[in-house]
Structure 1
Amino acid sequence: MTKQLLKPDYIFESSWEVCNKVGGIYTVLSTRAKTLQAAFPDRIFFIGPDVWRGKENPLFTEDESALRLWREHVKNEGLDVRVGRWNIPGHPISILVDFSPFYNQKNEIYTQAWLDYQVDSLHAYGDYDEASMFSYAAGKVVESFYRYYLSAQDKVIYQAHEWMTGLGALYVQKKVPEIATVFTTHATSIGRSIAGNNKPLYDYLFAYNGDQMAQELNMQSKHSIEKQTAHHVDCFTTVSEITNNECRELLDKSADVVLMNGFEDDFVPEKSDFASKRKHAREVMLRIANKLLGTQLDDDTLIIGTSGRYEFKNKGINVYLEALNRLTRDKNLKKNVLAFINVPGWVGEAREDLLERMNSDQNYTTPLKVPFITHWLHNMTHDQVLDMLKYLNMSNAADTKVKVIFVPCYLDGKDGILNESYYDLLIGMDLSVYPSYYEPWGYTPLESVAFHVPTITTDLAGFGLWVNSVTGHEGTLQDGVKVIHRTDYNYSEVADTIKDTVSDFSALSDQEITQIREHAASIAEKALWKHFIQYYYEAYDIALRNAEKRMKKQ
């Protein structure tokens, strides 16, 4: 008999990315909100930083009438909040808090955290203070709300995301022990730092001491708040088995539940629009290439791409370029390849010379200078992508079968050259490549397969590992997701496998490609929130039961 899960009456979630689009956590929260809002209508509250104060925030609509009496009450407690709706599917209630007043109490707050939980804030620098003051303010908001509206009869969850919200989770646990706390780390700060500092992470994971590495890499404070929160909350969670290994070794704590990142497919076009949107995307990308390179690439060109944050090694941008270079010499390649790198860099302005060509109907036969990039960068001479293209002696010459184009800006539809959103271009790709070295989950390959675009990823990405568990074997091109085995030391084999996979794809018939695209889409369907939300319910149950035990001891 399956046990009855305890369900919360109210849920509070805090994250730096509530109504504030920064990275992947925004996708996690904003796509999941609809599912939770349906299950707990207006009893889930998202708490974010009011970093848009005084400016128009396109992601938040304030509602002066919402929670009006509490808002007046909370002012007397020295808290400045705005209440409204997050402009995402589900439109959940959001509370944005101004955390700046707490800087004056910073030393007292840090001292208390040390006395209560041995959180070491002595070595803080950079964004630590900002995140901690927000986190503390968020904790105060929940305490105030609970005292004003709720009682011990209500089952309440407080879920905090990343080290940046740890201080608030510990504050809530101390000040409002009736609330059950959940902490989710999406990537350990120290694991990301080890990988980012070019140290081998995986082969030596068992031998690393998290505290010692934090000292070596000057990460003591972030590591400390993350570790202490993981150990003290009622339920500690992470987003994939690969990150759970990190937590076990570097935080000395395994997750109680793995909360895999789902998504909603409401941003994927309807079947009736799919073909026309795909055709349009391909026309845009081929037109850009032909104007920039002075070529006449046609629709038979194989269009591939990578995207995401500009983490050259962690996201595998380096090995993608290496594979493309090897592909130029591959005798089995049956088509021209147009390879995009859609990764925001230190972008300057849109290229005037390219714009001029874009506005002309002329067919050009000569390339523009620097025929690899659509926008000028502020650091043209010190950019890792351009440096590696130069090092590999890539040319984009008319006679080479592989052309590479770096789009170094956010694809928000107003970049000045492509003027299309990321998803409106993604749909036109034939194949995507995300050969990550460090990737706790990996939304980019998941979004790709949702658009029926088969993808190449690795088993060092949480998503890649999950695909292997779904297929029951190492994902293949035929499955729609090719999962490459990646280690600290097999860079060259990974580059060869990418090269071979693209080459194999170029030889497939239309019928075979259609089948692969259908398999890709069916893998995406298995990752919808309606399937993954169950893990959250398990986490709530564990947290509520542990909070009950905690209260009995007090």
Structure 2
Amino acid sequence: ITHYLYGGDWENRLKQELLLGLGGIRALRAMGIKQEVYHCNEGHAAFIGIERIRDLVRRKLTFSEALEVVRSSSLFTTHTPVPAGHDAFPESMIRQYLAHYPDVLGITWEQFINLGKTNPNDPEERFSMSVLACNLSQEVNGVSWLHGEVSKDILGNMWPGYFKNELHIGYVTNGVHFPTWCASNLRRLYMRYFPEGFSGHDYDIPAWQKVHDIPAAELWQERIFLKHKLVDHIRKRYSDPAQVRIDSPRQMVQIVEGIKPDVLTIGFARRFATYKRAYLLFTNLDRLSAIVNNKERPVQFIFAGKAHPNDKPGQDLIKRIVEVAAMPQFVGKILFLQNYDMELARKMVQGVDVWLNTPTRPLEASGTSGEKCVMNGVLQFSVLDGWWVEGYKEGAGWALPMERTFADQRFQDELDAEMIYNTIEEQIVPLYYKRDEQNIPRDWVESVKRCVADIAANFTTNRMMRDYEERFYGKLAARRHEIVAGDYMLAREIAAWKRRISAAWDKVRIVEVKQAKIDREAMFVGEHYPFEIKIDVADLRPEDIGAELVVAKQIEYGQPVNVIETVPLERTAVEGTTVTYALDYRSGRSGSFDVALRIYPSNPHLPHRMDFALVKWA
């Protein structure tokens, strides 16, 4: 079951994830490795939480107490912005392999299977590994700012009563490993001019500005050296029948002679999923032919990559590129390199002039290939999606807009293709071929310097790890210490409190609501408006319930609710089980808004209120 990562059927996939999660924790235990914080990368490893709970239950904690401990020290990172990319299995398949686990954990089968369901007790809903990971983790993040926002849409139904922009899903934008992906000649050059930039445990990002001290001729010479290496590698590949399949020896000669290091070179290499839209460049072949066959300012395109074995549309994309590359007008001008591997990837991200990326927005979670390029001075030309939303700087690369113009994807593709052609012809080509008397494109080199100083410095794994430490790891480690202190005292208290709230919540009633009289359905900025709500807390204590005013931008049909403010109400009176909460609200902003009152269980020890998503609306 470990021979192929993505091979086999769904049952084989489940076996792999059981081995990774349950087996992974047992392997760490067998090696004597004890950690304070566990980071679950993608839902594939979500069973680590189940196995950790099993260990704690063996130490005489209840399931709910063990759950609080595991959650307090767990981070879940989701990597895919496509709902179909989140693994989910039929309940019957989970039962086949894990039927004994509820007894081990001291819970019912329904409690166990509901850990992976957004809608508890729905027999038709599959067991989602991402839902399981969320339920077992205190913190959740995406791998770029935009992906974090998209993840709130995908996972938001887990927290009913709270809206997308209230959720605690954060982000850490992916980075790439500088020593692995930066060319050795450029590393040596950078070390001469700003060694302090990456010599310590934490990279000194401001020091990277010293790339501007490098003479243009020297930096350009190193860039040309890398292009020669790429071209030599391509020629070597095309001269080896074992590396590429070609129609005839004549075609091989045309390609070997056609690829040139002094021609503007645009690269496109990645997994060929359809959302990457590799086909955009071939929307208008006449236009493309005019670009690559311009006698004074030619352009050459290099494609490489693989499709998933089960992705027929992705395989068809590659087939189309190969067909176009074999057309007489494109031979030696457009290349598809077979047998894509890390060696070829490294040479491409170091040797091309421009990196092209054309995903359908917002389906690029991060997109690290472009990050590998920019540290080598390769300029990025991409849709404003994934990491490029944060990375793009004018004058250091090019961007297609983030916002859609057309709802119909075909129209959007056509518009984006035109924008790609126009940008290449009107901006990229003139900048590259504008040379001084020494044949150096000084304006282009200036863009390369800005690319390294202002962009690449911010997208290393060094920065990424620091973000994880500051935003999540430190917080989780502190939380775990708090939750386990005194023989798990706080874990036991929170678990008991949640059980008590859950048992009584259905009896909690909103008895009466009084709100300000609003003339002509308008509030005036600076005026005072009183709100009051009376709640029968039933068997609960007054301090167990909180109330707040939720202010959202005016809700449009079919659009997500955008909460802009929540204002707590104060407890003003207690008469038996009836508790009164009041607010003297004063609006400080103009505009059209919807307002409502929301009550919820209140406990200062909860890190995120929506993780205990019991809500009633007035």
* TM range, smaller chain: 0.5 to 0.7
- Secondary structure of the residue that 2:333 maps to in structure 1? strand
Match of 1:137 among 23, 42, 46: 23
**1:454 has 2:379 as partner:** yes
1:313-328 correspondence to structure 2 within 5 Å = 313-322=274-283, 326-328=287-289
Residue pair 1:166, 1:229 contacting (<8 A) in 2 also: yes
1:235 alignment partner AA: E
- Give the match for residue 596 of structure 2: none
Call closer, same or farther: CA 1:169–1:521 in 2, change over 3 Å.
same
Structure of greater relative contact order (alpha carbons < 8 Å, 6+ residues apart):
1
After TM superposition, give the deviation of residue 432 of structure 1 in Å.
1.4
8 Å Cα contact 1:324/1:499 also seen in 2: no
Whether contact under 8 Å (2:86, 2:129) holds in the other structure is no
Any gaps of 5 or more consecutive residues in structure 1? 1-48, 53-122, 195-209, 348-378, 414-420
Structure 1 residue 407, shift from structure 2 partner: 1.3
Cross-structure match for 1:302? 264
Query: What amino acid is the match of 2:370?
Result: P
1:190 and 2:83 matched: yes
- Name which of 418, 425, 431 aligns with 2:354: 431
The equivalent of 1:338 in structure 2 is 300
Contact 2:228–2:261 at 8 Å: present in 1 too?
A: no
Q: 2:74 aligns with which of 177, 181, 202?
A: 181
8 A Cα contact 1:163 1:225, kept in partner: yes
Residue of structure 1 aligned with 2:170, choices 253, 257, 266: 257
Range moving further from structure 2, 523-532 or 176-185: 176-185
Partner of residue 553, structure 1: 491
Query: How far 1:257 sits from its partner (Å)?
Result: 3.2
C-alpha distance in 2 between matches for 1:160 and 1:465? 25
Task: Give, as a single letter, the amino acid of the residue that structure 2 aligns with 1:280.
Answer: K
1:482 maps to: 399
Quick one: structure 1 residues 494 and 540, their matched pair in 2 at CA, closer, same or farther if it must change by over 3 Å? same
Distance 2:258 2:18 in 1: 54
- Taking a change above 3 Å as real, the CA distance of residues 458 and 220 of structure 1, as seen in their structure-2 partners, is farther
User: Equivalent residue for 2:129?
Assistant: 225
Query: Across the two proteins, how many residue pairs are aligned to each other?
Result: 359
**Distance across 2 between alignment mates of 1:295 and 1:324:** 22
Distance 1:280 1:467 in 2: 27
1:409 paired residue number:
339
Match of 2:367 in 1: 442
Aligned AA (1:237): N
Matched residue of 1:251: which SS? helix
Q: 1:169 to 1:321 in 2, by over 3 A?
A: farther
Q: Cα deviations across residues 447-491 of structure 1 (Å, max 9, x unaligned)? A: 11111111111123x2112224xx4xxxx4x22353543646311
**Kept after mapping to 1: 8 A contact 2:20/2:45:** yes
Residues 130 and 188 from structure 1, CA distance in 2 versus in 1: closer, same or farther, beyond 3 angstroms?
farther
Deviation string, structure 1 residues 511-542 (Cα, Å, up to 9, x no partner): 12111222222211121233332321121133
Stretch of structure 1 that moved more, 164-173 or 264-273: 264-273
Q: What residue is the counterpart of 2:416 in the other structure?
A: 494
Residues 249 and 170 of structure 1, relative CA distance in 2, 3 Å threshold: farther
| Aligned pairs (5 A) from 1:13-52 | none
Partner SS state of residue 137, structure 1: helix
Aligned to 2:318: 385
* 1:422 equivalent among 340, 345, 363: 345
Q: Deviations over 1:404-440 (max 9, x none)?
A: 2111322355xxxxxxx32124322121101122211
- Within the candidate set 541, 544, 550, 2:474 is matched to 541
> In the aligned structure 1, how far is the partner of 2:284 from the partner of 2:476?
46
Q: Measure the CA separation in 2 of the matches of 1:126 and 1:50.
A: 9
SS for the counterpart of 1:501 is helix
The CA deviation at 1:386 is 2.5
Instruction: Work out whether residues 79 and 142 of structure 2, in 8 Å CA contact, stay in contact via their aligned partners in 1.
Output: yes
SS in 2 for 1:305: strand
- Contact conserved, 2:151 with 2:169, CA < 8 A, in 1? no
User: What residue is the counterpart of 1:159 in the other structure?
Assistant: 39
Q: Is the 8 A contact 2:43 2:130 kept in 1?
A: yes
Q: What's the secondary structure of 2:46's corresponding residue? A: helix
CA contact (8 A) 2:384 2:399 kept: no
1:281–1:424 CA contact under 8 A, matched in 2? yes
Q: Verify the 8 A CA contact 1:456 1:484 in the aligned structure 2.
A: no
The Cα of 1:306 is off from its aligned counterpart by 0.4
Q: 2:231 aligns with which of 263, 267, 282?
A: 282
Describe the shift of the 1:346–1:439 C-alpha distance in structure 2 as closer, same or farther (beyond 3 A).
Answer: closer
Q: 1:191 deviation in Å?
A: 5.1
CA gap 1:383/1:211 in 2 versus in 1, 3 angstroms: same
Q: Which has the larger radius of gyration?
A: 2
- Alignment CA distance shift 1:277-1:302 (3 Å): closer
Q: CA deviation at 1:388?
A: 6.2
User: 1:45 corresponds to which residue?
Assistant: none
Normalising by the residue count of structure 1, what TM-score does the alignment of the two structures yield? Answer: 0.56
Identity among equivalent positions (%) equals 12
Counterparts in 2 of 1:481 and 1:294: CA distance versus 1, 3 Å: closer
Contact residue 142 and residue 172 of structure 2 kept, 8 A? yes
Deviations 1:264-294 (A, max 9, x none): 3113123368353332223444685872448
CA contact (8 A) 1:323 1:499 kept: no
